[in-house]
């Protein structure tokens, strides 16, 4: 009798491994389906333009803790997570749908507060809320947002477009969101042990805002267009810089080398990392939830990119097939995707 096969646990496979296993046999049947799984969003041909569609789900206890996440901030962030994916395709978000699964522990006023954040995000980014669904839950809260964007067909960018010798660029700074989460978790743990001790959050404004109320980088997409920047590959940094670099290299069949001293880290993040006895570089590489844009451009775009405040050149694309961090001693350390994994 054949020995029963041992089931593979989700934690053993991991989020990216599970996605690859579930999607490896998918084939697109319609000519209008220009891009399915494998990028920040799907792309549908609509003639002269394309629709860019993405969806993300946030689940209580996995993606957020309501002990320290205000509901209005949560609603705002749920929208940003999706708008960032649309911008990562070099498209402009136009509409969203919002679906929630909510338990009876929440009041009507609490859900109104959640939607106040959603409405604020829509108003700030000129996006229409056009529908969704609401269902009951036995435990907690889950939010699913779908964003729909638009771009000219020739303007859509994929993570698979990196070319040999491209400059690797990143917007903003990295690691602060992860460190903000560590401060919130620290204060939560202290409060749970002794609820007479009030959370100490003074002086952490920047990193807490990066965690609780991130902003999608619409301004970078507008800069691409205004300056005529030629972008070859584009992705947003949600799971960590290391993970996103590996995604670009794998999708583009290329390698890369980046330099730690070039990675932008805010001084507030560096200070908090020292306080927590963590390495700010590790937070920047693997922390995630920065929602910055990572992109590659030809060397001919160097002057435009180098002179733009808020964008850093951190390395270049190679043909090695590996993502490598070049140390101060000149040694190459292969990067392994160690960012956020839901399992």
Residues 186 and 199: their CA atoms lie apart, in Å, by: 9
Q: Kindly provide the residue ranges of all beta strands, DSSP E only, lying in 71-212, ordered along the sequence.
A: 92-102, 128-136, 141-152, 167-171
Residue 339 in tokens: 């960012």
- Across the range 8-25, mean pLDDT stands at 70
Sign of CA dihedral 228, 232, 237, 242: negative
Domain 30-155 in CATH 3.30.470.30? The answer is no
Answer yes or no: pTM beyond 0.75.
yes
Distance of alpha carbon 343 from alpha carbon 140, whole angstroms: 18
Residue 34 pLDDT exceeds 90? no
* Residue 139 pLDDT greater than 90, yes or no: no
Residue bearing tokens 């070319």: 163
Is 108 exposed, middle or buried (CB count within 10 Å of its CB: 0-12, 13-18, 19+)? exposed
Q: What is the DSSP string of 323-339?
A: EEEE-TTS-EEE----S
* C-beta separation of 244 from 295 below 8 A: no
Cβ burial, residue 12 (10 Å; 0-12/13-18/19+): exposed
What pLDDT does residue 340 have?
53
CA distance 106 to 146: 23
Residue 195 structure tokens: 């609820």
The predicted model gives 235-246 an average pLDDT of 96
Domain ranges of the chain: 30-155, 167-334
Looking at residue 235, its pLDDT comes to: 98
* CATH fold of the domain at 167-334: Phosphoribosyl-aminoimidazole Synthetase; Chain A, domain 2 (3.90.650)
pLDDT at 261 over 60: yes
Which pLDDT does position 341 carry in this prediction?
57
Report the chain's mean pLDDT, rounded to a whole number. 93
How much is the average pLDDT of 97-103?
97
Q: For the chain, what percent of residues have pLDDT higher than 70?
A: 94
Given a contact cutoff of 8 angstroms between Cβ atoms, the answer to whether 111 and 102 are in contact is yes
Per-residue pLDDT at 3 exceeds 70: no
**Number of helices (H), then strands (E), in the chain:** 10, 13
Inter-residue contact 114 to 60 (CB < 8 Å): no
> Strand ranges (DSSP E) for the chain?
33-35, 42-45, 49-59, 92-102, 128-136, 141-152, 167-171, 233-237, 255-258, 292-297, 311-318, 323-326, 332-334
Q: β-strand 128-136 against 33-35: which pairing, if any?
A: unpaired
Question: How would residue 330 be classed by pLDDT, with cut points 50, 70 and 90?
Answer: confident
Between CA 310 and CA 222 the distance in angstroms is 14
Distance of alpha carbon 19 from alpha carbon 279, whole angstroms = 30
Total length of the chain: 343
From residue 178, how far is each of 209, 212, 218, 278, 283 by CA, in Å? 11, 10, 22, 11, 6
Neighbouring-strand partners of residue 134: 100
Q: What percentage of the chain exceeds 90 in pLDDT?
A: 81
Q: Which two tokens stand for residue 316?
A: 């270049």
- The answer to whether the beta carbons of residues 78 and 225 sit under 8 Å apart is no
């Amino acid at each position: 009798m054949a020995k029963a096969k041992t089931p593979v646990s989700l934690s053993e496979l991991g989020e990216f491994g599970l996605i690859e296993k579930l999607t490896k046999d998918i084939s697109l049947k319609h000519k209008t389906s220009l891009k399915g799984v494998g990028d920040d969003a799907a792309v549908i041909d609509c003639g002269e333009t394309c629709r860019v569609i993405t969806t993300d789900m946030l689940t209580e206890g996995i993606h957020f803790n309501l002990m320290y996440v205000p509901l209005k901030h949560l609603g705002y962030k749920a929208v940003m997570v999706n708008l960032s994916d649309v911008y990562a395709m070099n498209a402009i978000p136009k509409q969203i749908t919002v679906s929630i699964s909510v338990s009876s522990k929440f009041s009507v006023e609490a859900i109104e507060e959640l939607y106040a954040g959603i409405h604020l995000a829509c108003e700030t980014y000129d996006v229409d809320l056009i529908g969704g669904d609401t269902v009951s839950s036995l435990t907690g809260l889950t939010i699913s947002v779908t964003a729909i964007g638009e771009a000219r067909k020739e303007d859509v960018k994929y993570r698979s477009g990196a070319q040999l010798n491209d400059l690797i660029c990143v917007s903003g700074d990295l690691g602060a969101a992860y460190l903000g989460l560590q401060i919130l978790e620290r204060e939560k743990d202290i409060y749970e042990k002794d609820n007479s001790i009030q959370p100490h959050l003074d002086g952490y404004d920047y990193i807490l805002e990066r965690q609780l109320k991130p902003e999608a980088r619409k301004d970078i997409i507008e800069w691409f267009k205004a300056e005529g920047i030629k972008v070859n590959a584009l992705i947003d940094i949600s799971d960590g810089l290391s993970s996103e670099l590996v995604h670009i290299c794998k999708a583009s069949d290329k390698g890369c080398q980046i330099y730690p001293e070039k990675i932008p880290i805010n001084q507030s993040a560096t200070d908090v990392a020292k306080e927590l006895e963590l390495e700010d570089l590790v937070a920047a590489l693997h922390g995630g939830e920065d929602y910055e844009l990572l992109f590659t451009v030809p060397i001919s775009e160097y002057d435009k990119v180098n002179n733009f405040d808020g964008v850093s050149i951190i390395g270049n694309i190679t043909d090695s097939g590996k993502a490598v961090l070049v140390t101060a001693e000149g040694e190459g350390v292969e990067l392994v995707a160690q960012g956020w994994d839901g399992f």
